[in-house]
Amino acid sequence: MPLFSSTSSSSSAKPSADGSFEAPTRHDRIRCWEARDAFFACLDAHGIIDSIKDSESASKACGKFDVQLQKDCAGSWVTYFKQRRVMEYKKKNMLEELKKEGAQEMPGVAAAGPAGTIGGLRSGGSGGG
C-alpha cells in the first residue's frame, strides 16, 4: 500500500498536518525501484527502449509491470524513470560512437568537460581544449 500512488482513488497518500503529502518511506522507495527494475527488464527482453513513444508495444508486452510501476511510484517518478531510460540509452550510444571515431577518455572528467570534450571524451581530431 504505497504512500504516493499516482493512480486510482484508493491512493494511500496521506496529507500531513499542514496539508502537504508525506514523503515516501524508505520501504516505499525500494518498492518503487523494484517495480521500475522489473518493468525495465521486461522492456529489455522485448527490445523496447522508449516506453512513452512506443506505448502500445510496451503496454502489450509489459503492461502488468507498467501497472505495478504506476501503483508503486509517484507519477512524476514514473515519467522521470521512463525519460531517463531513453536519455541513458542515447548517451551510451553516443559515447560508443565517439570511441569508434577515435575519441579518448579523459581521466578525472565525469560528464561534460572543457571545450572539445563530451562525457569525458576528447575528439580524436581535436588539437586542444
**Residue 77 included in any domain:** yes
Q: In this structure, is residue 85 part of a structural domain? A: yes
Q: What is the predicted pLDDT for the residue at 72?
A: 96
Q: How far apart are CA 91 and CA 97, in angstroms?
A: 10
64: in domain = yes
Instruction: Kindly provide the b/e burial profile for residues 91-127, where b requires at least 16 CB atoms within 10 angstroms of the residue's own CB.
Output: eeeebeebeeeebeebeeeeeebeeebbbbbbeeeee
Describe the chain by its helix, strand, coil percentages, rounded to 5.
Answer: 50, 5, 45
User: Which amino acid makes up residue 18?
Assistant: D
- Residue 124 belongs to a domain: no
The pLDDT tens digits for 75-115 are: 999 999 999 999 999 999 999 999 999 988 888 766 554 45
Is residue 47 one of the residues assigned to a domain?
A: yes
pLDDT band, residue 16 (cuts 50/70/90): confident
Instruction: Give the three-class secondary structure for 48.
Output: coil
Structural domain includes residue 5? no
Give residue-wise pLDDT tens across range 28-80: 999 999 999 999 999 999 999 999 999 999 999 999 999 999 999 999 999 99
* pLDDT tier at 2, thresholds 50, 70, 90: very low
Domain count, the chain: 1
Structure confidence at residue 129 as a pLDDT band (50, 70, 90): very low
Residue 78: all three cell numbers together: 514514473
Other Cβ atoms closer than 10 A to 86: 14
Indicate whether 68 belongs to any domain.
yes
Which amino acid makes up residue 82? K
More confident residue, 37 or 126: 37
pLDDT of residue 20: 81
Residue type, position 97, single letter: E
pLDDT at residue 26 in the model: 96
In a domain, 110, yes or no: no
Residue 121 parent element (H or E)? strand 121-122
